[in-house]
């Protein structure tokens, strides 16, 4: 009696037949942690830097242009959670009564 599987490596955890999919792996279409960080960079930091660059290029001094860029970053930071909810990457908070 020979086993056809004898010379082949065993499948890793969660890769064998009949095993459920690894619960920590993102499903297709679901955002991973890298996607959330890239979105944070685009939604929070990029607008602040652009506001700073445009206002400084239009003749605003370094200090006020920096403060305006910082204010933009703070406002975008407040809007970031709603962007995640609108994209469907996080669930809405359930209201407790």
- Write down the residue that tokens 């962007």 correspond to: 83
Q: Quick one: pLDDT at residue 95?
A: 77
Alpha carbon distances (Å) from 74 to 6, 22, 48, 69: 61, 37, 9, 9
Mean pLDDT of 59-85: 95
Query: Is a pLDDT exceeding 60 seen at residue 63?
Result: yes
Mean pLDDT of 31-44: 84
Q: What mean pLDDT, rounded, does the chain reach?
A: 80
Nearest to 49 by CA among 28, 60, 65, 38: 65
Q: Where are the chain's structural domains? A: 49-97
The most confident of the ranges 4-8, 30-34, 56-60, 93-97 is 56-60
Taking the model in full, what pTM does it have? 0.62
């Amino acid at each position: 009696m020979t086993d056809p599987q004898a010379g082949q490596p065993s499948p890793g955890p969660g890769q064998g037949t009949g095993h459920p999919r690894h619960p920590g792996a993102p499903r297709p279409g679901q955002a991973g942690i890298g996607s959330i960080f890239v979105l944070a960079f685009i939604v929070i930091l990029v607008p602040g830097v652009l506001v700073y660059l445009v206002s400084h290029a239009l003749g605003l001094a370094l200090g006020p242009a920096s403060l305006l860029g910082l204010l933009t970053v703070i406002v975008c930071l407040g809007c970031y959670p709603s962007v995640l909810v609108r994209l469907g990457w996080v669930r809405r908070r359930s209201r407790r009564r």
